[in-house]
Structures are given as structure tokens and as C-alpha cells.
Structure 1
Amino acid sequence: MFREIVACVEYFKDGVCSNYIAETEFVYLKENKTVESIENSLGDILIVQGLAILNDVETKKCVEDFTKYICATIYPKCTLVANTQQANVIIPCKSTCTNAITSCNNIEQPSQIVQDILSLPTFPRNCSGLIKQTSPLNIEYPISNCDPLLQIKDEPRCFSPLVVDIAKVKSDSDTLNADYCHNGCCVPCPQSYNLYPQGYYVKGIFAAQIIKSISAIFSGFVLISYIILPKRRSHPSIMLLFISLSIFLYSSNVFFSIFNQKKIQCVDNITPSTQENNTLCAIQGAFLIFAAQASTIWAGIVMLNFHLHTVWDSNLLANKYIYIHLIAWGIPSLLTLIALTTASIKYQFGGFCTVAINIANELYFYPMLTIVIPSFLIHLYTSYHIFKSSKTSLTNSTLLSNIQHNQIIESLRIQSHAFLLVILLTIIVLFYWLFYFFNVKKIVEYSQNNEFLVKWLTCIQSGKGQNICSEISKNYMPSFFLLIAAEIINSLIGFILFGLFTNNIFWNDWNSFIKEKLSRSLIKKVEMPEQFFTI
């Protein structure tokens, strides 16, 4: 024990020495020194603590014993003497020095971390002589009545964005998640967010969700219009009611998580959502699969109906709505049911739960492509037919052919809207499919890429930060801007529906409907009977 007028202050949480000194314990500081200033000077120790999780047992033991030596000599513990300005300084035991030398010097093939520790000027060369040249440690190491600085906890040093594996801290054989935790440090959910510059992914997905929300409002307005306006509830316009409904359902998927992305993406701070551990993920994913398939099928039906009417002068589908509904809603229901029964809905990237990458083509993209591509080809033929008929009518100068020519031109104008819908839907589906097929695999499989993991974790655990370490991700992950572009383009379908089908006739129908309702309201007021009896 050593008694002197000293500064005896409490240590704090998460410091370099927090595994050995409790935050409620007092440590000795010289005048004009603070714990914060000392911690700032120990950056090298923090880095070797961080990198220790990526190394073998011998290296970790060297790091632990060296840290213990540093803490014992920089922060000797002390106890305050009641009603005085004096304190008892507890001198560290000689073992804190000898253990560091033994653990680090006796490694046959020292890792780079061990070599870095041995080259530090603060590493002890021997344990004889004075502990330090300055008071109160200007004495030789005692071997009894001293502080061995025992380990009070075994919490690894995890640099942001990594978080501590609390389960492993409590029990070395346990872990919060074997897939996303390594030697006590975990990559938090959603994992892909951490591979890009800090905040980029959150802001990008939120921007895409805002766009999709507006898209849902637009498609919802078209849907309400086709329900309310009398002229829109008969064949073939009623088909646009159903495609508006399916597109609205698809776009409104965003409302599951727009202001709280993680409630869909993650079941806890580490584990990504699946349909088995997050009911909301299951509902949202099923909703997405059903609506996406239904939107595609109804678009195909609209195009097929126009083709039959224009090329073959046939109204075949007008009285076949029972079969149409069985196909348009039945196939999406079946695909959704398969996804649910095979537990294929999970969160993997972006803002939503969707079909697992290993079965996405079979359950999601191939069914859509079998509708979109034939619809596109049918409309190419339909457009060719209209163009050919228009060209033929120009060579005929009779009044009847002029009338027919005007009708063909009008059909071509209407056709252009439906054709654009198919073209844009095809582009969206193909772009998203190609992105998903070639890029999402990178996001999903990065945890299996040991080369990438070592590089990225080494960068993070060297204290360089998420922004700098995201440069490493560029060689393994999809471009951030491509990823967000895929999310945004996928959100535009409601805008497309609104832009193509809210023409002058549409607004005139609304104008007539409102005027009619106002006229009826005025008539009712004029014809309203007396409210009171005459006595």
C-alpha cells in the first residue's frame, strides 16, 4: 500500500481496461490528467484488442496479458481515505508484468498483432527494477499485498457497426447467431446496411419507399375512379379496375414498414426475419408475391383482350370473367401458398421480405416472365396489324375508308397506352430480375465468402470505420446506386398506371360525375318536405 495526496477518480464503462477495472472502481491519476485524455492515448491498445477476435488463442492471450499490464501500470487502483485528501494506492503485482512477457515472447510463430505489440515502446522488456520512474510507482514490483488485476469480465472489443455478442460473453460456448457472429462480435441486422457508407442504405431505401407510397396513392386513386365512375365498370374498362386493384395492392406493400424498416427486416438486433420467426414478414412477403403476380397477369389479360378486339374483331373475353378471375387470382394464390408452405419467404436485401434467392426464379420471376414476354410479343403483332391497316387505308380515297382510317388512328392512340404499359412493365420485370439474379446473390452469399469477411472485419476492427471499410465492399457487393435504382424503378408502376390512363376523357368523366352529384343534392334540397307537423 502507498499513501499520498493524489487524484483518485472513478473509471468509466467501455474503456480500454473495462474487462479489468469496474466503472465504479477508483484509479489513481496524476495532476492535470483525466481518464478521457489517457484513453485517447491508448488507441494502439484498442486496435490490438479489436483485431484479437480474428486471431488464434495464443494471440488473444498475448493481447489480454499485455492489456492487463498496461491497465495495471497506467491505472493503479486506489481507495479514498475518509475525510482526507489522501488515498491508498494499490501497487500492481509483478505477475502483471511477467505474464505479458511470457504470453507474447513465447509464441513460436507470432502473428502480425503480436509483432506489433512487441515493437511498442510500452511493452515491458523485463520486470526487475522500478515499475516507473515517477511516484507513486517508483518502487519495485511486489509479489504479495498487491493487485493482480484479475479479469472481471470477458467482453471483446467490437468496433462500430459491430455489436457485442452478449450470449458469448455470458457463456463462451454460446452465441446470439452463428451465421453473423464471430468470436464475440456480431454484424447487426440488416447486415447489408453495414457494408455501404453509414446511413446510405437507410436513406436510399426510405427514398424508394416514399416513391412507392406515392405510387400506391396514385394507383389507389385510379382504382377508386374505376369503382365510382359508372362508365368504367363495364367491359372492357372493368379490366383496368382489376389491374388497378392488383397494382394498388402491390404498391401499398410499402405501408407495412415505411417508418420502421427493421420491424420487417429483423427479428432482433442480429437475426434477419423469416416467415418462421417474424409473422409480419410472412404476411408482407405473401402480400408482395400475390400482388406482383396478379398485376402481371391482369396486365397480360388487358393486352390479350385488346389484341382480340383489334386484330380479330372478337369480344371473346366479355363473358368469360369467371374463368379470368380464376386465372388472375388463382395462380397468384397458388404461388403464394407454395412459398408459404415451403418456408421460402425471408428478408435478404432491400426493404422487404420476399422469396428466398434459391427459389426466387421458380416462384417469382419465371411465372411473371411467362406472362410479360408473350404479352409483349402479342402487342408487337397487334401494333404491326394496326400499322399495316392504317397504311392500307391511306391508299383508299372513299369517305368510308376515311372514317375507317380515323377509327384506326384512334385505335392506334389507345393501343399506344396499353403497349407502353406492357413495354414499361417488361422493362421493370426484366431489370429487377437481372439485378436480382446477378447481384442479390452477392449480398446473400457474402457471409460465405471468407476472403471478403476477413478483409472487411480486419478493416472494421482496426478502427477505420464503416465509411472507409465500405471501399472493400465495392469489390464484392452490388453498386449502391444500382441497388437503389432497382428499388425505385420497381416502385414506379403506380405512376405509370396513373400517367397512362388518366387522360382527358378520364377527367371529363370525373367532372360529369361531380356535377351530377351536386345537381342531385340541390334537387333534394328543393324537394325536401316540411320537417314539422301543423297542429
Structure 2
Amino acid sequence: MKQLFGTATLTALIIQLSSMAGHAMADVSSSASVVTHPLTIPTASITSSHASPSPSNSCMAYPSTGICSSYVNYSVYMNNVTIKITEVMLEELVYLKNNLSSVNPQCVDNMFRFQCSQMYAKCDTGPSGLSETLPACLSTCNQVLQTCTQTLSSLGYSGSLPNCSTPSFISHLAPASDSSCNNLTSQVNAITANTSAISFPAGYILPVCPAPFLKDPLAQAGTNNSVSPDTCSNGCCVPCPVQEYLYPEGWIVKGFLATNIIRTISTICTFFLVVSYATLPDKRTHPSLLIFEFLIALFLYSGSVLFSLGDPKRIQCSTDIVNSTQDNNLLCAAQGAIVIYGTLSMALWVSAVIVNLHLHTVWNSKFLVNKYIILNIICWGGPLIVTAITLAYHQVKFEFANLCLVSADWIHPLFFDPLAAIVIPSCVLHLATFFHIARISMKESSEFEMSSTKNSVTNSHLSRPAISHRRHVVTAVKIQWRALLLAVSALIAFLFYWIFYLIQFPKLADLQNNKTVLAEWVTCMMTKQDQNYCANVISSKLPPFALMILAETWISLIGIVVFVIFGKRSLWREWNDWIYEMRMRFKNKKRQYPKHEDQFFAL
């Protein structure tokens, strides 16, 4: 995911705060107790030598030049504590504003609203006409915790966060509910806050990366160095593969484990059929030879799962952070090349089956019987050229799902466009064959009704040519219905996966450019650290999980479907006959051996 952290709020929350550590509190009056932690806003009690307040000096006007002047426009309750002392204790708010207001204004705003209302309780007149003091709002304190916890915690300053149950040492009042508190007006609107939250300083490195994020080993302050610019920023990286963290916890792992198991079963089934067609003598003649060639391509495609079986990450990732490419992971290069080559070869051999069915059924032609040299050059050579070009341009890499494939930038011209050029004409030709079969069947039904009502020699004579062609079509369908079904199954699988990829995969590119959503997701992951909860933030921008797994399952089932279609009873009988024949040959050789031995000694 390109610049995933480039839109996160975490780094923005830390900008230049380290400079605060050097500021001393030298101007603090000796009568005030000030905590020297650079981010701690003091709430310690004033020494007991202060006298009790009197009505004449408890409430006073707040100066227009004060730290809280943007928020406090009322008479404040001071209880004999001078505003000058309180202002010194609030100087940390100035540092907070200077360093965070451009990148996380909501945190700064909430902190000002709470601390100013906590230190400067409002002198007000109640409904009964009596004077009263309004404390800070509990809801404002909770907003501080919500917007600032990750900021201060990541710096190791979590102790600076307010305790929402602690009374003010001036008014001795704890934060109260909104109905009876001093709710200061926010100076930051939501639009400004959201916009600023995705503006980060370049070259700042986070001191700590919260789980599940990992430390970028190449990140250096003041530079753009990164081990993976696509998934890292400001010293923290999303672990590889990123997709495991975008969906609810465990969904991706379990979903692709299921599809890998299905594809493994398909591989075993396909391997048995390949061995059968290679061993049994009747399977190496036309048109079974077309099926044999298709099965080899299918085995290459399905067998690619063996690279990732048991440990998909060895294909997906070259390190804990970096995605695999053909340059940093040879297994990824090999698997990607086999998937590309096997898929295109499989599509071409299915097309050859479809062309043969059309020629034989519609035109009663055996054109392809003696064309296997040309077929092998086209069906094996063409995919080899495409695969070589892909490898030459270094475009095999892992980006999504569970296999290495062509990169998203090149997958259409190098993979899906050639696949479409094969599959779409094959679909049209296959539909033409179906329509021809349907037309002949309807004509047969019509002529049968006519021959039943009109028992005449003329009508019978006129119907013979059609019946002859009809019988040819029916016979062809009966003989080659398995090849017909194979073509339909393969075409549906190709089209379904292609359409899924065409419609759903662009969502990932859109997500890479959607900085607001990514910022929200990263912030959620770092603050709540609840993957299941945070998945809801980004779910509408991702391919639906169920549809993605369905697409992977569909193409993984091809080997099993083909096995069901061609694993007919006659195949097992042929194996039985072949085994019996091998046994007889072996027995005959054993019988002849002693005879030659006797003749040898007799000589």
C-alpha cells in the first residue's frame, strides 16, 4: 500500500515535541509547586499558607493577554491564588500549541479547553440568583484522553494526561457533567482538524512503533530512507503482508489457507489425469491429445500452490516488512512465472478444444488432426514469450491475494489483455457451437412431428439430409460432451476471475490515494490496537472478503472439476487393463528366463 503511513496521524502528533524537553521552569514563583516534566501541566496543591478566600477577592477578570485568553472571557475564581502563578503553571500549553496545533489541532484545542477551565473555574450567577463556581467538564477531559493519548504515550509522556476525577487545587471542584460545568467553546472545527491531521513532517522518526507495526531498520531522522516506502513512514511499517491487517483478524490467513488446500487437491487430481493420459495408449491420439496438453498446462497452474504450501509468507514476503518481488525472492519469481505461463497456456489449449469441437460438430471437419506442431508452437510458445517479457521488465511481484503475479501497473497489458484476447473469441465460438446444436435439436423435433402426422414417402425423403446431419451432431455431442463441459467450466472460471480483478482490484489503487481513510485506519490501529474494530474503518474501500475468496476458490476448483469430468469409469477400466497387461508381460518374461537359461547350459 503506497505511502500507507504517509497519511497516518501518529507521526504528526509527535512533531518537534522533543524540543520541549530543554525548556526549564525558571520563571515559576517559589510559592507555586511546579512539576519539571516538560509536558506535565501541574495540578499540585498550593502550600497551606494561603488564606481562605473572601468574597471580595475570589472572582476577578481574566487578562486579555493571558494564555487562555482565546477561551476565557469570564470572571475567574482564583481563591487567593494569583493569575500570574497560574499562568506560569500553564506555560506548557504554549509549547504544546506551538508544536502540535498545525498537525493535531484537536488535541491542542481539547487540552486548552480542559486545562483553562480546570485552572480558571467560572464565577457565575445561578438560577436562584446566588453566585456559584462552574468547574471543568468531564466530557472535555474525556476528549483530551481520546485525542491526545497516543500522542503523549508514544513520547513516553502518558503521565501528562489529566486524571478526570482529580479536583482542581484552586476551586477544589472535580470535573462535572455538561449540565453543571464550564464548557468552553472549541476553537477548531472538524474540517480543519481532519485536514491538519494528515500533514506530517518529513524525516521525523517515531521513537517507538506500537503493535502490530514494526520498526523501519533504515529510517533516519531528517531523511527519507526506508526499507519499504510503500508500507513505511516515519520509522514505522505495516508488517508484510499488509492485507492480513486490513481485514478482521485471521480472516485472510484462514481464507487463503482454505483456497490453498482446494488448489492442492486440484493439483493431485490433475497430476493423476496427466499420468493417466501419458501412460494409457488410447489417450495420446486426437482429440484426447488436446485434453492431455490442457491437463499439463492445468497442472503447471495448479501446482504453483506447492511453493507456498505450509508457509505462504515465504512467497509473499522477502522480509517481515518488504513484499516479495522477482528480484528479492527467487521463489516468488518462479511461482509468478509458472502462474503466468500455466494460465495463458491453459487458456490457449481450452481454445484449441473449443475450435476442434466447433469444426467437428458444425462442419464435420478434422482440420486439427495433423496440426499439432503448429498447435504446440502457438499454445506453448506464445505464453513463453509473454512470460519472458514480464520477467525481463521485472514485473513479477506479490501485491495482493496469495500468489506472486504481474504488478498492478502492468497486469492488464501483460496478463489480462492477452487472456481476454484468447478467452473472448473462444466464448463467442463456443456460443456459436451451442446455438448450432440447439438449432439442429429444434429442427429434429419439428421434423419428427411432421413425419409422425404425415406418413408420406416424399416427406421422409426430404428429411433424410437433415436427419443425417442431425445424427452427426448428436453423435458428436455424445462423444465429446466432456470436452464441451470442460470448455464451459474453464471459460466461466477465467471470466469470473478476470471480471472480479477488473472491478475490485482498482479499489486498492483508490485506497492508496485516499489519505483520509488511511489516516483514520492507521490512527485506529495505533490507538485502539483492535484489528477487528479498525477493519470497519476501511472495509468499504477494499474488495469484499467473501467475493475475493469465492474468486480464488473458483479458479482453484478447476482441477477437481476436470477430474470429475474425465475421471470416468472407462478410465479406471483402462488402468485395470494396463496393469493386467504389465503383469502378463512381467510373468511371461519370468517364464522365458529359465528356458533360455537351460538352453545356455545345454550348449
Q: Same fold (TM over 0.5)?
A: yes
Task: Confirm or deny that 1:265 pairs with 2:265.
Answer: no
Q: Deviations over 1:9-58 (max 9, x none)?
A: xxxxxxxxxxxxxxxxxxxxxxxxxxxxxxxxxxxxxxxxx964242525
* Inter-partner Cα distance in structure 1 for 2:396 and 2:441: 49
Note if 1:277 corresponds to 2:318. no
Q: Does the aligned pair in 2 maintain the 1:290–1:336 contact within 8 Å?
A: yes
Task: Tell me, in whole angstroms, the C-alpha distance in 2 between the residues paired with 1:420 and 1:203.
Answer: 31
Q: CA deviation at 1:418?
A: 2.5
Query: For 2:268, which of 214, 217, 220 is the aligned residue?
Result: 217
**2:304 counterpart residue number:** 253
Asked whether the 8 Å contact 1:222–1:498 carries over to 2, the reply is yes
- Alignment equivalent of 2:476, drawn from 408, 411, 417: 411
- Counting only pairs closer than 5 Å after superposition, residues 134-533 of structure 1 correspond to structure 2 as 156-168=207-219, 174-392=225-443, 395=448, 408-529=473-594
**Equivalent position to 1:121, from 162, 168, 189:** 162
2:151 equivalent in structure 1? none
Deviates more, 1:162-171 or 1:224-233: 162-171
Shift of 1:208: 0.6
CA distance 1:156–1:466, shift in 2 (3 Å): farther
RMSD: 3.5
Fraction of identical pairs, as percent: 34
Q: How far 1:171 sits from its partner (Å)? A: 8.0
Q: Is the 8 A contact 1:265 1:351 kept in 2?
A: yes
Q: By how many angstroms is 1:490 displaced?
A: 1.4
Kindly provide the amino acid, as one letter, of the partner of residue 107 in structure 2: I
Aligned residues: 436
**Tell me, what secondary structure is at the counterpart of 1:177?**
coil
Query: What TM-score comes out, normalization by structure 1 length?
Result: 0.73
Which whole-Å CA distance do the structure 2 matches of 1:443 and 1:217 have between them? 33
Give secondary structure in 2 for the equivalent of 1:188. Answer: coil
Map Cα deviations across residues 323-371 of structure 1 (whole Å, 9 max, x no partner).
Answer: 1111001110111112112222111101111112222222212222222
CA contact (8 A) 1:421 1:500 kept: yes
Displacement of 1:463 after TM fit? 2.3
Corresponding residue number in structure 2 for 1:95: 36
Query: Amino acid of the residue matched to residue 502 of structure 2?
Result: F
CA distance in 2, matches of 1:488, 1:97: 57
Return the offset for 1:222: 0.9
The whole-number CA distance in structure 2 between the counterparts of 1:461 and 1:60 is 20
Which amino acid in the other structure matches residue 522 of structure 1? K
- Partner residue, 2:120: none
Change (3 A) 1:114 1:305: same
1:270 offset after TM fit, Å?
1.3
- Opposite residue 106 of structure 2, the aligned amino acid is Q
Instruction: Name the CA shift for 1:264/1:168 in 2 (closer, same or farther; >3 Å).
Output: same
Decide whether aligned partners of structure 1 residues 253 and 439 sit closer, same or farther in structure 2, where only a CA change above 3 A counts: same
Alignment pair present for 1:55 and 2:37: no
SS at match of 1:474: helix
Q: 2:421 and 2:566 mapped to 1: Cα distance?
A: 25
1:451 Cα offset (Å) = 1.1
SS at match of 2:358: helix
Highest CA radius of gyration, 1 or 2? 2
DSSP-derived class of the 1:514 partner: helix
In the superposition, relative to structure 1, how do residues 428 and 54 fare at CA in structure 2: closer, same or farther (>3 Å)? farther
